[in-house]
Chains A and B, each alone.
Chain A
Amino acid sequence: NAGVTQTPKFQVLKTGQSMTLQCAQDMNHEYMSWYRQDPGMGLRLIHYSVGAGITDQGEVPNGYNVSRSTTEDFPLRLLSAAPSQTSVYFCASSYSLTGQYEQYFGPGTRLTVT
């Protein structure tokens, strides 16, 4: 299994540009999430999905869209990039093992918005 994969690893955008961060998992996990990690702050949840066709907002959803058309893929779209979206983005997937959710993280995408 490749686990959770993310592309690209690094990206530089200009303010106002749009782009999609890709996330895929090959473990047939129900749950997938997007987080951002900023210096001095804990990981914060952007959006999450409990299955194909079902998504919901997390703590910091503004400026981001998601969709989940398949179990495997959970792309994150930046609609109009802003410098405040400069961050490291992690995708994660999880599954329930006897009511506990094992967590698997992707390698991250480092995004800089100028």
Chain B
Amino acid sequence: KNEVEQSPQNLTAQEGEFITINCSYSVGISALHWLQQHPGGGIVSLFMLSSGKKKHGRLIATINIQEKHSSLHITASHPRDSAVYICAPGGGGSNYKLTFGKGTLLTVNP
């Protein structure tokens, strides 16, 4: 079983700050997903990546497959970024199943 550790568990920031959420996992995988869940809401896939870096707007995700580590960065954070961010290794190659971290609760204050 892939053990997934996310840090921090909770994060409070002021609007405009640069945010970093980290994810480490124990079993080598060929892909990793970052998901976003607003309070009481559904789950949306932000990124699927297998190497290097991807950028969507103010969000950047990086992965180091050899180190079994990924990070999610949010530049110029905004209150609407307040949500739970979930790291989910898997969903690539022969492993289409995901394992999930417990999530990081991000609160961005105006």
- Residues of A bordering B, CB below 8 Å: 31, 33, 35, 40-45, 48, 50, 58, 90, 92, 94, 96, 99-108
For the complex formed, measure the closest distance between the CB of B96 and the CB atoms of chain A, giving whole angstroms. 5
The stretch among B12-20, B43-51, B73-81 that forms the contact with chain A is B43-51
A42-B4, A58-B97 are contacts. A105–B44 as well, Cβ < 8 Å?
Answer: yes
For the complex formed, measure the closest distance between the CB of B51 and the CB atoms of chain A, giving whole angstroms. 11
| Cβ–Cβ < 8 Å partners of B45 in chain A | 102-105
For the complex formed, measure the closest distance between the CB of B97 and the CB atoms of chain A, giving whole angstroms. 6
Q: Bound complex: CA of A34 vs CA of B79, how far in Å? A: 31
Max chain B C-beta neighbours (<10 A), residue from A35, A101, A102, A104:
A101
Residues B42 and A103 in contact, CB atoms below 8 Å apart: no
| Cβ–Cβ < 8 Å partners of B42 in chain A | 90, 105-108
| Cβ–Cβ < 8 Å partners of A31 in chain B | 96
Q: Bound complex: CA of A35 vs CA of B33, how far in Å? A: 16
From 35 to 77 in chain B, residues with beta carbon under 8 angstroms from any chain A beta carbon are 35, 41-45, 48, 50
| Cβ–Cβ < 8 Å partners of A102 in chain B | 45, 48
Residues A40 and B102 in contact, CB atoms below 8 Å apart: yes
Nearest neighbor of B1 in chain A, beta-carbon distance: A59
What is the interface size of chain B, counting residues whose CB is below 8 A from a CB of the partner?
Answer: 25
| Cβ–Cβ < 8 Å partners of B101 in chain A | 42
Picked from B4, B41, B96, B103, the residue with its CB within 8 Å of the CB of A101 is: B96
Q: Bound complex: CA of A33 vs CA of B96, how far in Å? A: 10
Q: A31-B96, A105-B42 are in contact. List 7 more A-B contacts (CB 8 A).
A: A42-B100, A43-B86, A43-B88, A43-B100, A99-B92, A100-B48, A106-B42
25 of the cross-chain contacts (CB-CB < 8 Å) are A31-B96, A33-B97, A41-B102, A42-B100, A43-B86, A43-B88, A43-B98, A48-B97, A50-B96, A99-B93, A100-B31, A100-B48, A100-B50, A101-B48, A101-B91, A101-B96, A103-B35, A103-B88, A104-B45, A105-B35, A105-B44, A105-B45, A106-B42, A108-B42, A108-B43
